[in-house]
Structure 1
Amino acid sequence: MSIPPLPEGEPAPTLADPHQLLEGYLDYYRRTLLRKVAALPEEELRATRLPSGWTPLELIRHLQYVERRWLNWGFMAEQVPDPWGDRGTGDPKDRWQVPEGMSTRQVLDAYTAQCDSSRQVTSAAKLDQRASVGGRFATEAEAPTLAWILFHLLQEYARHVGQLDVWWNWPLAARGSRGERWGRWIRQRMGVGQGWWKTRGRRPGRVRPGTVRPGRVWPGRVWPGRGAVGASSGSFCWPR
């Protein structure tokens, strides 16, 4: 059976070196992220369509700091000023924010500069090398290998680029009264302290924890009782 056409920019299927595969897929997700946001006008980059409130520009800045925290501050133990600068108050539990007055070009330039810095870090080290101590990690027991960090970054990128797809297809973006009606339906079903993806079209109070079935996604719509956004895996994870 022949290999089906690969997505644009994905590493070649003949690539076998683990180091090159990890770096190659990280670059693939970086390019995919930039390609998706390049099609958006300025007002959309700073707009939110989700109840959690994040915007595409905030997502880009978050991923810039994710790489900085794990590779510069974490693996290299560099003394990074404000490692949680993507969070408004510097608190890791705070939501993502872009500083007041920071332009889109500045956000994108800072992100691409961080990607360049990350490549220099990963290309010069071996996968089994442990992170240095004195930065993010205080002891050798806490320090992960470069291989673990790269795998972690890959899952982080895969999740966030997927969330950007959710942002594109969110029902609040649908025009007309029908899109607004589905948006109200989802907000009503969310509740406090309960993930909306577990309601699955059931009545409040009838949700059993952990009972999530795979569903189906239609562009711009979420159909009650037929599946929730991001349901190919049967679940959806909010940004972290």
Structure 2
Amino acid sequence: MRPEATFATVDERVAALNGRYRHHAARAVFKEALNARETGRVALVSSFGAESVVLLHMVSVDRPSLPVIFVDTEMLFPETLQYQIDVASQLGLTNVQVVKASRTQLALHDPKSDLHKRDTDACCNLRKTEPLEAALTPYDAWITGRKRFQSGTRAKLDFFEAEGDRRIKINPLAHWAPADVQDYMWNNKLPRHPLVAQGYPSIGCAPCTTKVAEGEDPRSGRWRDQDKEECGIHFVDGKIVRGPLNKEDAA
């Protein structure tokens, strides 16, 4: 289902959606977003990380055939790869699409798989942002698990955001607190990512994710000691945050 022509721009569709669902609960936002005329063709993007199972469970209840895009950066923890397989099977998800970076681009920009040591932004761009952008090409909207409490860049997150001039980003859990996430997982007896119990409340690629000590921000283990909060697939203050493949590309 394509977005209705009545809404000429993405910004207009986002404004209509936020106005309609501003006071709705996360569960209702998720369910209605799958069928709203403004969203068109929708996919869920999931990292199969620490809290991903919440939205994956909602998919399994409302539309098990919904496309679920999983970007395998080929630098993920082995536990994440196994968790992806186990959760998809347990929840009966029938349309998980595993995407990876172009072999040509990897050979050109990261032949030794050590780009993350020199330029984490470029590595994220190569292994996550570009493959995801290609995978999202057929879709008019995509669902994320981002929440306001996760970082300063997400503090004003709305249920719906404009991504450029052609796609909508849907954040059903934007207003959830950590307790809401845990309650949902507990009440629905959902499987936990095995690394959470080992001190990883936020899980990304293995080289750039460290354990988090008690009292630290849950995302402090991501790109520790770097001026970096996002991998590059999300917008901050209306601008997409992503790194160039090399310094010369920055211009």
TM-score by length of 2: 0.24
* Greater C-alpha radius of gyration: 1
Q: Which has the higher strand share?
A: 2
